[in-house]
Structure formats: structure tokens, C-alpha cells
Amino acid sequence: MLQRWRVTGWNGDARTDMTAEEGRQIIRALFPTLFSSSFEITSPPTKRYNCIAWAAGEEHVWWWPGGRYWPDGVPKAESIEAFTQAYAKLGYVPCETPELEANSEKVALYVGADGRVLHAARQLPDGSWTSKLGEAWDIRHELDGLAGDNYGRVARILKRPAGRTEG
Amino acid sequence: MNAITASSRFVHNREIAPPPTWGQQVPFVLSGRQSVMMSDASRVIARQERRIFNSYQVVTSFRLPLECEFLQRALRWKAETFFHSSISKKTQHPDYQRIIGMGPAVVPLIFHWLKHEPDFWFDALVAITGEQPIPPQHAGDVAAMARDWLEWGRSHGYDC
């Protein structure tokens, strides 16, 4: 049986619904690397939060420097240093590798060609990664699955001790 | 010297383009035809775009042509930025910038949209009106930000 969602997000009309397979095809069209790597849609679309918030464990606000929620004392810039400082408020520090480590939680920051941060993903306990795609879905994916024209490349990995919820 | 009339196709002995037809003015009227070159994924996106257009209830109350241009640009902006978290990616999109450039005339249309669907029109409203009714504690709460702007709109005489 096809799973159908009421899509009240990017296409604006609650009467419109979309099958999970249609969602998967749209995601693959946006991120062609996902044609060759596995991914799974794990939530309906919503505008309540974005990838930065989702990676930080937040589901109620849209994090972004300038006009949206942004931690106090962190520069309102789209630089990787500013985002690193934002996650430092939650206890994250830069690390070398995205590999799964016992008792650690990791976040990956993606940057575009101009050096501006475009996306963040959070590592799950099984080593896969979870991302919120803008106003659209949460997905579980491989780290490089979202690399490309839209989200750029993974430029920094952050980690903190597992189980920590605030800085 | 050639007079410029509705039927004239020559001005100063140079041929000019004919008056635009309805189809040229409203290029987003979508037919059921699809290019044979479209991939499956593109076809799905095209179908979704048609659904956006066909289902968006606001369209039924819009008048031409300002409303049409707004809706055309807004839907294209939406379709091309919905997967971005970056506010600058959303607000620097050419269609978003053009909508800002359309000025105060589009404010009622934006309020109409916001009334039906909280969305990222806040930066456009700030740019057009010069106002910022969103308190700091609502920053990032899209629904609350939309409510703040609608309340501002009602207090300034907009029907929203």
C-alpha cells in the first residue's frame, strides 16, 4: 500500500498529497548521488525546523543567522566558523573523521563553492546520517549522498559526547 | 513616419513584435503535454508543479496581470528553493527579488499567501514596508512570524 502524506509544505495546499515514491523521485532529482546510494524518507515535510535545527536536535524553530533563531553570542554569518561556534554552544567540537565512534554524536557541515554553509546532517547511532531537506522531508542517508550542486560538499565534522543535550 | 496603432507592425520602418498573446503573457499555463526528453524524475517534478498550480486555491481569487506575475514567480521561487535551509538562498532567488521590486502592490498578495500558508515572505515584507513587527522571541518560529505579520497587516488596514 502506498503511503500518502498531506503536503502542507512547499507546494502550499493541504489537499495535495504525494506518495512516498514520488517524494523519493523528487529527492533523487535534486540529489543525483542518491541514485547510487541508499536513502529513506523518515518524516513528512514541515517548515517548523530546518537542517541546522534538526542536526542540533531541535524540531520547533528554523535556525539560520539573521532574522531566524540563532544562538546568542554567535556571529550572524554563513561561514563555517560561525556555524561551528553555534554548534559549540551545544558541546560540539571539530573532529577529523565522520566514522562512527562509540559514545560520540557527530554533525557534518556542508558548504558551497563560495564557502557558505548550506546544510548540516547528524549521525545516527547505526552510522548512517539524518538530514532535513529545507522545508521538505527528513531523510536517512549516506554522508556523501547529498553532496553536489545543491548542498556542496562536506567541509567539517563536529562531535560531542553522546547523550549530551545542551552546551 | 509610421503611426503606432494596435494593428501596426512597423515603427520607423522597423518591424516590431506583435502584441503578446494570452499564452505569452501567462507562460505558466500548463498543458498536459510533456517533452519526450524529460526524465522520469523531471516528469514527476513537472507533475508536482502542475498540481501546485492547479490546486493552489489562492489562484481563484487573483486578478490579472500583477497577481499572475506574482503567482508565477512565487511558485517558481517555491519550487526552486523549498529544499534549501539557507535564508539567503531563498531571499536572493531572482523571482523573490523581483517580487520585492514589485513594491507595495504585492503586499496584499503576500498577506493572502501567508494567511493560507506560513511561508518565508518575511524578508520581502521587511524590504517592501520597512517595518519589522516580529519580536526577537519569535525568530525562527515560522507560524508565529506569519501571525505577527498578519496582525501588523490588519492593524494597517489590509484585509488579511
User: What would the grid cell of residue B153 be?
Assistant: 497587516
DSSP at B117: S
Give dist(CA B45, CA B57) in Å, integer. Answer: 20
Question: Could you say which of A10, A48, A52 has the minimum Cβ distance to residue B82?
Answer: A10
Give, in degrees to the nearest 5, the angle at Cα A138 between A137 and A142: 125
Q: What is the pTM of this model?
A: 0.76
A28 reaches B (C-beta below 8 A): yes
Q: Which triple of cell numbers denotes residue A148? A: 553536489
Is the pLDDT at A13 greater than 50? The verdict is no
Of A9, A22, A134, the CB nearest to B44: A22
In sequence order, which residues have a C-beta less than 8 Å from that of residue A3 and are 6 or more positions away?
Answer: A19, A20
At what angle are helices B94-101 and B122-129 packed, to 10 degrees? 30
Q: Which distant-in-sequence residues (6+ apart) come within 8 Å of A76 by Cβ?
A: A65, A66, A70, A82
Instruction: Please name the member of A26, A29, A64 whose beta carbon is closest to the beta carbon of B86.
Output: A64
Question: So what's the pLDDT on residue B74?
Answer: 95
Mean pLDDT of chain A: 88
Question: How high is the pLDDT of residue B3?
Answer: 46
Q: How far is CA B121 from CA A13, A60, B107, in A?
A: 17, 19, 10
The predicted-structure confidence for B126-145, as pLDDT tens digits, reads as follows: 999 999 999 999 999 999 99
**pLDDT (0 to 100) of residue A49:** 97
Mutate to test the interface with B, among A16, A17, A63, A68 (most CBs of B within 10 A): A68
Q: Give residue A149's pLDDT.
A: 93
Spatial distance between the Cα atoms of A108 and B53, rounded to a whole number of angstroms: 36
Chain-centroid distance of CA A44 in Å reads: 14
d(CA B44, CA A27): 11
Where along chain B do its domains lie? Answer: 22-55, 60-160
A118 pLDDT band, cuts 50/70/90, is very high
**Closest Cβ opposite residue B85 in set A26, A29, A134:** A134
- The tens digit of pLDDT for each residue in A67-103 reads 899 999 999 999 999 999 999 999 999 999 999 999 9
Residues A100 and A84: their CA atoms lie apart, in Å, by 20
ipTM: 0.86
A30 touches chain B (CB under 8 A): yes
Q: Which of A149-153, B19-23, B27-31, B70-74 has the lowest mean pLDDT?
A: B27-31
Residues in contact with B153: Cβ distance below 8 Å, sequence separation at least 6, in sequence order: B107, B111, B160
Residue A149 dihedral angles phi and psi, to the nearest 5°: -65, -35
Residue with grid cell 512570524, as numbered in its chain: B145
Residues B15-43 pLDDT 10s: 665 555 554 444 444 444 555 566 777 77
Mean pLDDT of A141-150: 95
Identity of the residue in A9, A12, A50 whose CB atom sits nearest the CB atom of B85: A50
Q: Which of B53, B85, B110 to mutate to test the interface with A (most CBs of A within 10 A)?
A: B85
The reply to whether B56 touches chain A by the CB within 8 Å rule is yes
User: Given pLDDT bands bounded at 50, 70 and 90, which one contains residue B59?
Assistant: low
Q: What is the pLDDT of residue A5?
A: 41
* Closest-CA distance of chain A to residue B84, Å: 4
Yes or no, beta carbons of B116 and A48 under 8 Å apart: no
Q: What is the mean pLDDT of residues B68-83?
A: 94
Q: What span, in angstroms and rounded, lies between the C-alpha atoms of A119 and A134?
A: 9
Taking residues A43-56, report their average pLDDT. 95
The answer to whether the CB atoms of A12 and B40 lie below 8 A apart is no
Q: Do A26 and B45 touch (CB under 8 A)?
A: yes
pLDDT above 50 (res A11): no
Residue contact A12–B51, C-beta within 8 A: no
User: What's residue B95's pLDDT?
Assistant: 97
Task: For chain B, positions 103-122, list CB contacts with chain A under 8 A.
Answer: 113, 116-120, 122
**A-chain residues near B83 (CB < 8 A):** 10, 30, 133-136, 150
CA dist A93 and B75 (Å) reads: 40
Contact call for residues A80 and A117 (beta carbons, < 8 A): yes
Q: Which of residues 58-117 of A touch B (CB under 8 A)?
A: 60-64, 66-70, 78, 116-117
